[in-house]
Copies of this chain bind each other. A is one copy, B any other.
């Protein structure tokens, strides 16, 4: 059984990116927008900023208070569109803001996180350059491990902001896809069919050992917290049954940031 070490792979990618920047003497800047006081938003944007600095990418930080309105943020993004090539709005946003309107103010070419409507829509036409970084990380793990998706039964549990674009990219690779959610009757019957099982629900330890096919490839994309400890969707005991597992923590999380860096030097 193989366990993906996301941190190790992410560090390798970081080194590659660092070398590209040094060798080509690239001057890159990422403009980040953080709004409000959400602890996750702060954590994520800090991790991205830290990673950028480590590889030699400049970061221009813009912060807004919790009570800012859509218009002010959108005006700022329009200004940034003129000045910068790479723009990122950290999610989640405060409840009073319109997530889609704000994201869609970012020009397609500058949408480094792949979350604008245009970037998402282009996935349907197999233009995947601006795929969401989390989705790219999942595909990266599969492709780096030479897992050909064509004709494979892939079970995807959860179809939120990650699940839906991920579904499109799995279909682009001709997977036979089974997508489940909280309303699915007898989830186990579905998950047991998965040659590859990907979970992105945020429900802690949802996927138990008896729900997984022998030798399945299991990728955990869920993140939740229990007593300040980060845990994933996939129960620890699944390791006894899977042939490859990409765990939480230390899997898709660090790889998502690595995908961001890769996109920045493209």
Contact = CB atoms under 8 A, between A and B. Distances in A.
Interface stretch (A24-32, A163-171, A254-262): A163-171
Given A117-B125, A122-B100, A125-B117, A171 B179 contact: yes
Interface residues of A, number: 37
Nearest to A190: B176
Contacts of A104: 118
Contact of A181 (B118, B120, B165, B176): B176
A184 B151 contact: yes
Interface string A179-195: 11111110000100000
A150 interface: yes
A124 interface: yes
A164 to B, nearest CB: 5
Interface string A102-123: 0010000000000011111111
Contact of A185 (B161, B176, B179): B176
A73 B121 CA distance: 21
A124 B171 CA distance: 15
A127 interface: yes
A159 interface: yes
A150 B161 CA distance: 18
A57 to B, nearest CB: 26
Contacts of A153: 185
B177 A179 contact: yes
B184 A180 contact: no
Nearest to A155: B178
A210 interface: no
Contacts of A100: 122, 125, 127
Interface centre among A117, A121, A180, A181 (most CB of B within 10 A): A121
Contacts of A171: 159, 163-164, 167, 179, 181
A34 B176 CA distance: 35
Contacts of A119: 117, 121
* Interface pairs A-B: 5 shortest CB-CB: A121-B121, A117-B121, A120-B121, A151-B183, A176-B184
Given A118-B118, A167-B168, A176-B184, 5 more contacts: A117-B121, A120-B121, A120-B124, A121-B123, A151-B183
